[in-house]
Amino acid sequence: MEQRWKSILLYVVLIICSFLPLFTVIPYAPWDRGLVMFELFMTTSLSYPLWLRVVLHILTLVLVLLLIVYGQRLGRFVSAYFGVLFVFYAVTQNIALLPTYGLTILLGNLVLLAILGVFWFWEAFRPQNEYVFHRLPWWRYWPIPFLVLAFWFPYGAGLLPDFNPLLLLASDFGVTFCATAPLVIALLTWSYPRVNRRLYYVTCFLGALIGIFNLLAPITMPGYTLWMLFLHTPLIFISFYGLILPRLSSESAA
């Protein structure tokens, strides 16, 4: 019972953190918050150089393939790598110098992703995850098509569809949370139940929470397209699936 209340308290803290204020040097009207966030995300998403996108695409894919082959021998390193990525996203996606508003910091997302990074660093320090990806029921592999979509993340000017095959190496995967987190969560679901339960639930919960914000974005964030919402379906579906998987697994075992 005590553990349950600790978990509930943690989720309440995470939700509260998600509503931390949006800081700007040049003040904005409260009803323009969505416009500021849109400008912030557009600025940060375009700031990553091509070489970094290519390197993180290849490096992440190679590490995952090696993790599948060698399992626990790479567990600590991969967990630390994910921790670095989440802290990197916390800083680079949520802090920008905007022409309209000056220095802009989305404190809520910054704190949430930093907390997630700390959880992954702790997992690297005291590992509990057992990365084993075989002998699973066939239905557990349903996220794979969504992971392909997240890896490609095909959009271009105006946040409209762009199926340029070069985006398979130059998309937002690797450099942004929403494109990369589906893969991390999928790996956890394929390792479940041999995972760090606290890390598992926090990662899935934050993925679902940020997924909900994206689900509302066409209403709250002018300029956010339905295509961009579609590209976030891997994050939304896989995160919520991760949260209900323990229930599904117990029913399957019953």
Q: How confident is the model at residue 142 (pLDDT cuts 50, 70, 90)?
A: very high
Examine the pLDDT at 222 and tell me if it is beyond 80: yes
Q: How confident is the model at residue 129 (pLDDT cuts 50, 70, 90)?
A: very high
- Give residue 136's pLDDT: 86
Token pair for 92:
């680079």
* Tens of pLDDT, residues 94-124: 999 999 999 999 999 999 999 999 999 999 9
Domain layout of the chain by residue ranges: 16-253
Task: Tell me the percentage of the chain whose pLDDT exceeds 90.
Answer: 83
First to last CA, the chain: 23
pTM, two decimal places: 0.94
Is the confidence at residue 72, as pLDDT, over 80?
no
User: Phi and psi dihedrals of 135, rounded to 5?
Assistant: 60, 40
Query: How far apart are alpha carbons 177 and 167 in whole angstroms?
Result: 17
The span from the CA of 70 to the CA of 83, in Å, is 20
DSSP per-residue codes, 2-66: HHHHHHHHHHHHHHHHHT--EEESS---GGGHHHHHHHHHHHHHT-S-HHHHHHHHHHHHHHHHH
Which of 127, 125, 175, 120 is CA-nearest to residue 150?
175
pLDDT category of residue 1 using cuts at 50, 70 and 90: low
- The answer, yes or no, to whether residue 59 has pLDDT greater than 60, is yes
